[in-house]
């Protein structure tokens, strides 16, 4: 009897080993199936309020926040709207079209509200102040620029016949400014030694418009000490002055309007 019980126990143990070996013939445990939850930060109450304000779902708002953590947040203005962000990074043409239409509608609604309020402001101004202008121009003290040119004023430009790149550059700017104005220009040349041929050659090289010379809008003169006298021996080419009934004073190209 004991022999029969021992034999039955041995068969039971061997059967268990056989079943385990059949379940895992390679000797390794079978992997268990896991449900992996996407790691995403849960939205706060503030996030949900903002998502509701923009008529976005929690999923859309989470995607917007994720996109702003990348290049979109680095190169975009801080006030870019979530609709624009989602539209720029739309995952399909249909989504892009949907966000574009939503944004266009928002812009139109906002514009209509701005115009309506502006009209209300205009009407309020009429009710409160009648036809009284917002600014009384007659009370403004408008001061004329110190070096403003008046009718009859002339510009005096002192240059030299020797090589002077600064002189040539300022002359070019000066000629372009007076072409479209009624200002007259008197050019005084240093270095001609009173020779008219030297003055004519200089004018030809520097493309002085002959028609402006004929109309006396431009005159070309030998300096003969004029610069030294008018600048009290402090001026040197290139030198620009304004001559008016109040006297002759230095002026810069930047003062010409």
User: Contact 129/224 with Cβ under 8 angstroms?
Assistant: no
Q: Are 51 and 60 in contact (CB under 8 A)?
A: yes
Instruction: Name the residue with higher pLDDT: 28 or 237.
Output: 237
- pLDDT at residue 140 in the model: 63
* pLDDT of the residue at 14: 44
> Do 206 and 171 contact (CB within 8 A), yes or no?
yes
What is the reported pLDDT for 20? 44
Q: Tell me the pLDDT tens digit for each residue of 155-213.
A: 999 999 988 999 999 999 888 888 777 789 999 999 999 999 999 999 999 999 999 99
3-class DSSP state of 155: strand
Domain boundaries, the chain: 43-130, 154-255
pLDDT interval class at 134 (50, 70, 90) = confident
**Contact criterion met (CB below 8 Å) for 189 and 159:** yes
The CA distance from 88 to 119, in Å, is: 35
CATH number of this structure's domain 154-255, picked from the four choices 3.40.30.10, 3.40.50.300, 2.40.70.10, 3.40.50.150: 3.40.30.10
Residue 132: which residues within 8 A CB-CB, separation 6 or more? none
pTM here is 0.45
pLDDT in tens, 65-82: 999 999 999 999 999 999
139-170 residue pLDDT tens = 665 555 555 667 778 999 999 998 899 999 99
| CB-neighbour burial class of residue 90 (10 A; exposed 0-12, middle 13-18, buried 19+) | middle
> Which residues have CB under 8 Å from 68's CB, separation 6+?
76, 85
Give me the pLDDT at residue 153, please. Answer: 82
Q: Among candidates 234, 240, 238, which has minimal Cα distance to 253?
A: 240
Round the CA-based radius of gyration of the chain to a whole number and report it.
44
The pLDDT tens digits of the residues spanning 12-39 come to 544 444 434 444 444 444 433 333 333 3
CA dist., res. 124 & res. 108, Å (int): 24
> Mean pLDDT across the stretch 120-141?
80
* Rounded average pLDDT over 126-139: 78
CA–CA distance, 66 with 40 (Å, rounded to integer) = 9
**Bridge partner residues of 184 (DSSP):** 154
């Amino acid at each position: 009897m004991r022999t029969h019980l021992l034999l039955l126990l041995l068969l039971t143990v061997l059967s268990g080993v056989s079943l385990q070996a059949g379940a895992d013939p390679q000797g390794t445990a079978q992997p268990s199936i896991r449900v992996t939850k996407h790691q995403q930060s849960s939205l706060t109450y503030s996030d949900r309020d903002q998502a509701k304000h923009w008529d976005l779902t929690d999923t859309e708002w989470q995607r917007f926040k994720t996109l702003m953590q990348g290049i979109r947040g680095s190169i975009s203005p801080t006030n870019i709207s979530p609709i624009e962000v989602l539209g720029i990074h739309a995952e399909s043409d249909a989504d892009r079209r949907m966000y574009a239409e939503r944004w266009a509608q928002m812009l139109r609604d906002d514009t209509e509200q701005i115009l309506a309020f502006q009209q209300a402001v205009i009407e309020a101004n009429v009710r409160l102040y009648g036809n009284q202008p917002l600014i009384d121009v007659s009370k403004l003290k408008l001061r004329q620029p110190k070096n403003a040119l008046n009718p009859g004023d002339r510009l005096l430009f002192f240059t030299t016949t020797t090589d002077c790149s600064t002189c040539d550059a300022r002359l070019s700017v000066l000629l372009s400014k007076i072409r479209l104005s009624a200002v007259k220009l008197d050019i005084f040349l240093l270095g001609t030694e009173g020779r008219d041929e030297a003055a004519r050659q200089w004018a030809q090289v520097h493309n002085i418009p002959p028609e402006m010379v004929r109309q006396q809008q431009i005159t070309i003169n030998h300096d003969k000490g004029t610069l030294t006298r008018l600048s009290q021996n402090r001026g040197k080419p290139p030198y620009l002055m304004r001559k008016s009934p109040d006297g002759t004073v230095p002026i810069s190209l930047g003062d010409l309007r």
